[in-house]
Amino acid sequence: MENSSKSPDDRKTRFYHPYQDLHVPITKLYELPTAPEHLFFEEAARPHRSWGENLQYYTGIGYLSGALLGGARGSIQGLRAAEPGDSVKLRLNRVLNSGGQLGRRAGNSLGILGLIFAGLESGVIHLRGSDDVLNSIVAGLGTGAVYKAASGPRSAAIAGAIGGIAAAAAVAGKQAVKRYVPI
């Protein structure tokens, strides 16, 4: 939606000329928007992602990064486990099996961590009624504690502390990137 207090001359406009590289005398220019476009006004007014978007984002990022890192680590282990008399087929089979097994295991673990984190963060945002850094840190604490709850209270407390520290480090890193890296 446009702000009615600004005149059309005050807005920054970008133009797109699809035929500029063809060197033809067509001067058809299209005005491109400078701000994100939303279908509904409610989407534009929201300052953060919804709980469903959060759930998909964190679970997907967790699974994908875990699968890639675990697969790479498993592939390296498969290469190291090869014996001197193995054929190429057997070595390749070892690499694929160990990479797939570790990738699947790490992807599932990090995907579950993302799922728990997204649910807790959305719950904390809903309970507190504000969206700030403290929500992510509390969600990190809770994620570590819930993930290791079956191992006992001591393990849950340690994992909760590690989760809170990791969430605080991630938030601080995100803020540093926003401040010092122009995009």
Residue 45 has pLDDT above 50, yes or no: yes
pLDDT score for 3: 46
Residue 10 has pLDDT above 50, yes or no: no
Q: Which residues pair with 31 in a beta bridge?
A: 15
CA distances from residue 32 to 17, 35, 87, 109, 110 in whole angstroms, order as listed: 10, 9, 58, 43, 39
**Spatial separation of the C-alpha atoms in residues 42 and 40, rounded to whole Å:** 5
pLDDT digits (tens, 9 = 90+) for 130-177: 888 899 999 999 999 999 999 999 999 999 999 999 999 999 998 888
Residue 14 has pLDDT above 80, yes or no: no
**Spatial separation of the C-alpha atoms in residues 27 and 95, rounded to whole Å:** 57
Average predicted confidence (pLDDT) for the chain: 85
Q: What is the pTM of this model?
A: 0.70
Residue 81 has pLDDT above 70, yes or no: yes
pLDDT score for 34: 72
pLDDT digits (tens, 9 = 90+) for 86-118: 888 999 999 999 999 999 999 999 999 999 999
Residue 22 has pLDDT above 60, yes or no: yes
Q: Which residues pair with 32 in a beta bridge?
A: 14
Note whether 147 and 161 are within 8 A (CB): no
**Spatial separation of the C-alpha atoms in residues 92 and 127, rounded to whole Å:** 52
User: CA angle, corner 49, sides to 46 and 50, nearest 5?
Assistant: 90
